[in-house]
Chains A and B, each alone.
Chain A
Amino acid sequence: MATVCASPTCGKDTESALKCPVCLKNGVNSVFCDQSCFRSSWSVHKHIHPSEDGTDSYNPFPDFSFSGELRPAYPLSDRRPVAKHIKLPDYAKNGKPISEIKNDRVGRITQLSEKDIKKMRKVSKVSREILDVTASHVRPGITTDELDAILHKECMKRNAYPSPLNYYNFPKSVCTSINEVICHGIPDKTVLKDGDIINLDVTIYYMGLHSDLNETYYVGDKAKCDPDTVRLVETTRECLDLAIKAVKPGLAFRELGNIIQAHATKNDCSVVRTYCGHGIGELFHCQPNIPHYAKNKAIGIIKPGMVFTIEPMLCLGTHKDMSWPDNWTAVTEDGKKSAQFEHMLLATETGVEVLTARSETSPGGPVARIE
């Protein structure tokens, strides 16, 4: 029985049984002559599909060759307002962290005073609380924008500024990095699915200091059942733990990359090179630079009172990264998954204090590998 080809530019009768799978899924039969007829009409035809998950979202970069399956889901929500009484970092107004740029040219590693260390502990604790509350909402069906809204509200409740907001014009209050996104994912209308992994990278500015931490979470039970995903996430977690164990006064920062890469390689994961750990305090990012790969030429020796992050990013495939056209979202070049964990650390006289340590009730945490 002949039907009319559903292509608006064709309109011929056809004996074809080929149907658009998206329409089929929605219970509609759209028959096309062949794939080339379908392809040439795709840009028009696709608009009859109801948008996924009932949201009116779209991919703002339809011509971009994405490396994996994830797509941005725009429009972004409006910029979230910050309560008037909250102390702002210098870039909050125009996006340019002038004090950081100036400091980069001097580049000394600071050691915090006793008084600042006390403050730092307080700020760290608040940032951990905010991450934990936000992470407790991670589940299939929630959007990254909803997570951003939760985080922003938790920051406001505690009189803290969400440090990513407007840092070099970053549009949101937290970074949400799903699957192949290595880091700096922008919260949008993307809906989390069972089987995803998501990293929440939280930094707050409170009492004049920044505190920075992140964790990767399994979304739903499917992710926890995939051996490769679990190997990636748990290896990354262990890499951070091993590096932290080595931290003590007298150790050169360059050694940390050797430790991380050795454990990653042993577990058949690669280490991202482009992004590194950093000093933190009055500034969001400052000296030292702490690469996570082996044989780096990083400068400096760990001394008591130094505060810095270690935040390894590992991948199942290539370590090479590329950027989405939003100039923020860093993804793996092969589209395979990437995970990250970060703690903010204080070097002490004898070793290290994990300022952003998990509490008994923190969501997430390690799961057993699947052999």
Chain B
Amino acid sequence: MDDIPQLVTELPADGTIPSERSTAPSVSSSDPTRKIPVTIITGYLGSGKSTLLENIGKTSKKKLAIILNEFGDSSVIEKSVTIKDTEKSESIQEWLDLGNGCLCCTVKDNGVVAIEQLVEKSKDRIDHILLETTGVADPAPIAKMFWLDEGLSSNIYIDGVVTVVDSEHVLKCLDDVGGHWHRENNHVKNAQTTNVEDLTEEELQQEEEQLQEGITTAHLQIALADTILINKYDKLQDKEKEVQAITDRIRSINGTSPIYTTSFGDIELDLILDLHAYEGDVTKVSKSLLSNSASFHDSRISTVTLEFPFLASEEQFDQIESFLQYILWENKINDKEVEIHRLKGLLVQKDPEIVKVVQGVRDTYDTIEGGKLLDGVKSNKLVLIGKNLNQEDLKIELYKYLK
């Protein structure tokens, strides 16, 4: 509506035309404190992601928005969302409205803005968002996208990454050096992307290099996972032995995240939702840091724990930050090329007590202050999942900064 003036008997002395509308339009009135969690569900085509989602939709009491596929494929213009209202057992299809790009750099990805708008529009109809990636998707860029700065006061936050692996094929897949198995089974970008023209040379080249090295998308999906589901348990012959072999193999890559076996995605929802995996909860992080139980290390991507004494001064927090910035942004540790996919940690100064949680995915990291130290924690701890990592090099690099 354009402004309708207020009728007058004579014009005010200053000549201004009074407006009928006395106040500015009210700014959106939704509860600004409620944030909706986003869980990223990743896994190869055929691993059972969709069955898992279906199962969650059936059993959850939460009102879920399920965003299917194609996420991370930033060129796709429209994306559909299914909002399941389990109480009324209704499904509503919505379209995400992805605007065009922007003249200046914007902080948020278009997809994130579209989901924020969806939440805004349907505030009480959504309790949790599940985002299913394509089979070939590296989940890190998507996790980064949804790990929004506090200052952006978004109405959504990243809850965690759940990775589904196909128990029948995962070992073959992780052993594939050179990409033969991946190409044969169409687990490559060329075979799964709707707009093949959108793939850049660099992307394809990077995929090829990783396949040659034996670093598959499955490695990345497991490295980034905050919870791992070994699915299709029912298909295994010698169940106990095979599950052990798969678990050992996954542990060698990701030594900290919980692993569960499932058939047809039957899993208690508490185990995969509300993980708060990117937050500064000291209790949760302490727990996950304790459990690095890898018995041997995958030579390609592995989990390494670095322990060192509590910090003595606040300057040492800054020194650790410089160390983290170096290893995450220069991709080097003790002059060796490395790649860090996930980082978690706990940094403590005893007197006065300062406890900081460290969270990181690829080159994005944060240190979050707050919380109380748990009994039994005797040292600082950093857990890194990535390529070419080992404890000695990390120690050497750390003490270049820590003085």
* A residues in contact (CB < 8 Å) with B: 17-22, 24-25, 32, 34-35, 38-39, 42, 46, 59, 62-63, 65, 67-68, 71, 97, 101-102, 105-106, 164, 167-170, 175, 183-184, 252, 257, 273-278, 285, 289, 291, 293-297, 299-301, 311, 318, 320, 327-328, 333-335
Question: Taking chain B's interface residues, is the majority helix, strand, or loop, or is none over half, making it mixed?
Answer: loop
> Given A274-B106, A328-B103, do A24 and B11 touch, yes or no (CB 8 Å)?
yes
- How far in angstroms is the closest Cβ of chain A from B207? 12
In the complex, per-residue mask of B346-360: 1 if CB is within 8 Å of any chain A CB, else 0: 000000000000000
Q: B374 in the interface, Cβ–Cβ < 8 Å? A: no
10 A-B interface contacts by CB (under 8 A): A18-B9, A21-B17, A25-B15, A62-B2, A65-B1, A68-B24, A101-B75, A276-B105, A300-B329, A301-B329
CA distance A38 to B202 in the complex (A): 64
Q: B325 in the interface, Cβ–Cβ < 8 Å? A: yes
Q: B108 in the interface, Cβ–Cβ < 8 Å? A: yes
Q: Which of B114-141 contact A (CB under 8 A)?
A: none
Residues from chain B with Cβ under 8 Å of A71 in the complex: 2
Q: Does the CB pair B25–A22 fall under 8 Å? A: no
- How far in angstroms is the closest Cβ of chain B from A259? 14
Residues from chain A with Cβ under 8 Å of B15 in the complex: 25
Q: Does the CB pair B9–A19 fall under 8 Å? A: yes
CA distance A297 to B4 in the complex (A): 46
Having A105-B203, A278-B105, A328-B103, one finds 11 other A-B pairs with CB under 8 Å, namely A19-B7, A22-B5, A39-B4, A46-B2, A168-B100, A183-B103, A252-B325, A293-B149, A296-B149, A297-B147, A311-B104
CA distance A289 to B149 in the complex (A): 13
Q: Which residue on chain B has the smallest CB distance to residue A320?
A: B27
Residues from chain B with Cβ under 8 Å of A327 in the complex: 99-100
Q: Does the CB pair A102–B202 fall under 8 Å? A: yes
- How far in angstroms is the closest Cβ of chain B from A300? 6
Q: Does the CB pair B101–A168 fall under 8 Å? A: yes
Q: Which of B1-52 contact A (CB under 8 A)?
A: 1-2, 4-11, 15, 17-18, 20, 24-25, 27
CA distance A276 to B102 in the complex (A): 12
Stretch at the interface among B297-305, B362-370, B378-386, B388-396: B362-370
Identify the interface centre among B24, B75, B99, B325: most chain A CB within 10 Å of its CB: B24
Q: Does the CB pair B8–A19 fall under 8 Å? A: yes
Q: Does the CB pair B105–A301 fall under 8 Å? A: no
Q: Which residue on chain B has the smallest CB distance to residue A58?
A: B2
Q: Does the CB pair A63–B7 fall under 8 Å? A: no
Checking A39, A102, A293 against B151 with a beta-carbon cut-off of 8 angstroms, the contacting residue is A293
Q: Which residue on chain A has the smallest CB distance to residue B24?
A: A335
CA distance A335 to B24 in the complex (A): 8
Residues from chain A with Cβ under 8 Å of B18 in the complex: 21
Residues from chain A with Cβ under 8 Å of B92 in the complex: none
- How far in angstroms is the closest Cβ of chain A from B133? 16
Q: B196 in the interface, Cβ–Cβ < 8 Å? A: no
Q: Does the CB pair A273–B152 fall under 8 Å? A: yes
Cβ-Cβ contact count across A and B, 8 Å cutoff: 128
Q: Does the CB pair A21–B151 fall under 8 Å? A: no
Q: B90 in the interface, Cβ–Cβ < 8 Å? A: no
Residues from chain B with Cβ under 8 Å of A301 in the complex: 325, 329
Q: Which of B71-128 contact A (CB under 8 A)?
A: 75, 99-108
CA distance A21 to B1 in the complex (A): 18
Q: B150 in the interface, Cβ–Cβ < 8 Å? A: yes
CA distance A275 to B113 in the complex (A): 13
- How far in angstroms is the closest Cβ of chain A from B21? 10
Q: B200 in the interface, Cβ–Cβ < 8 Å? A: yes
Q: Which residue on chain B has the smallest CB distance to residue A24?
A: B11
Residues from chain A with Cβ under 8 Å of B329 in the complex: 299-301
In the complex, per-residue mask of B165-207: 1 if CB is within 8 Å of any chain A CB, else 0: 0000000000000000000000000000000000010110000
Q: Does the CB pair B25–A65 fall under 8 Å? A: yes
Residues from chain B with Cβ under 8 Å of A328 in the complex: 103
> Given A294-B151, A295-B149, A301-B329, do A184 and B1 touch, yes or no (CB 8 Å)?
no
CA distance A54 to B106 in the complex (A): 38
- How far in angstroms is the closest Cβ of chain A from B202? 6
Checking B24, B104, B108, B203 against A334 with a beta-carbon cut-off of 8 angstroms, the contacting residue is B24
> Given A291-B151, A300-B329, do A285 and B203 touch, yes or no (CB 8 Å)?
no
> Given A252-B325, A297-B149, do A277 and B105 touch, yes or no (CB 8 Å)?
yes
> Given A22-B17, A65-B25, do A276 and B107 touch, yes or no (CB 8 Å)?
yes
In the complex, per-residue mask of B142-156: 1 if CB is within 8 Å of any chain A CB, else 0: 000001011111000
Q: Does the CB pair B103–A184 fall under 8 Å? A: yes
CA distance A170 to B103 in the complex (A): 8
Q: Which residue on chain B has the smallest CB distance to residue A296?
A: B149
- How far in angstroms is the closest Cβ of chain A from B225? 21
9 shortest A-B CB distances, which residue pairs?
Answer: A18-B7, A278-B105, A293-B151, A21-B17, A168-B101, A65-B25, A24-B11, A17-B9, A62-B2
Q: Does the CB pair A32–B108 fall under 8 Å? A: no
Q: Does the CB pair B24–A274 fall under 8 Å? A: no
CA distance A148 to B73 in the complex (A): 36
- How far in angstroms is the closest Cβ of chain B from A215? 15
Checking B20, B104, B107, B363 against A184 with a beta-carbon cut-off of 8 angstroms, the contacting residue is B104
Q: Does the CB pair A299–B364 fall under 8 Å? A: yes
Q: Does the CB pair A21–B103 fall under 8 Å? A: no
